[in-house]
Structure 1
């Protein structure tokens, strides 16, 4: 399940209100850390939804089959013109 960007922004706004409303330095730092985490989450979800799957092209070299040399008992060589 994907969290909507609007929901994340609402949570950022809530945490910002908590950071502004408290006089406790530790509570401000915790709210700011939560805002940072929410921003990272929002940016990650936007980047993931806009990125197309990566498909790697694999090149396969064609195999060249060497002609099979047929050996005849009375042949003089490998060429068709060897009599």
Structure 2
């Protein structure tokens, strides 16, 4: 297994290469290598948080308009109006 110290040394090496190069393609490759090394380091360290990446999106309740029933012998709109 690769230790975190070895990963950090490789990240530092890639960072130095990205800093000194003038070639955009070489810089992108060094940054991609840093990303891969970081992902590898994060996978090897157990996280105290669950790795669930799903996001719950709250759904707004729908508002329904009620239509009052009109009956001939009703005294009002309330259920308690007799």
TM range (shorter): 0.5 to 0.7
Corresponding position of 1:18:
17
The Cα shift of 1:47 comes to 2.0
Corresponding position of 1:39:
38
For these two proteins, the number of residue pairs brought into alignment is 48
Question: How does 1:1-83 map onto structure 2 within 5 Å?
Answer: 2-47=1-46
More helix by share: 1
Which portions of structure 1, spanning 4 or more consecutive aligned residues, are displaced by more than 2 angstroms?
none
The Cα shift of 1:9 comes to 0.2
* Higher RCO by CA contacts (8 Å cutoff, separation 6 or greater): 1
Highest Rg: 1 or 2?
A: 1
RMSD of aligned Cα (Å): 1.5
Q: Return 5+ residue gaps in structure 2 as ranges.
A: 49-82
The Cα shift of 1:4 comes to 0.2
TM-score normalised by L of structure 1: 0.55
TM-score normalised by L of structure 2: 0.56
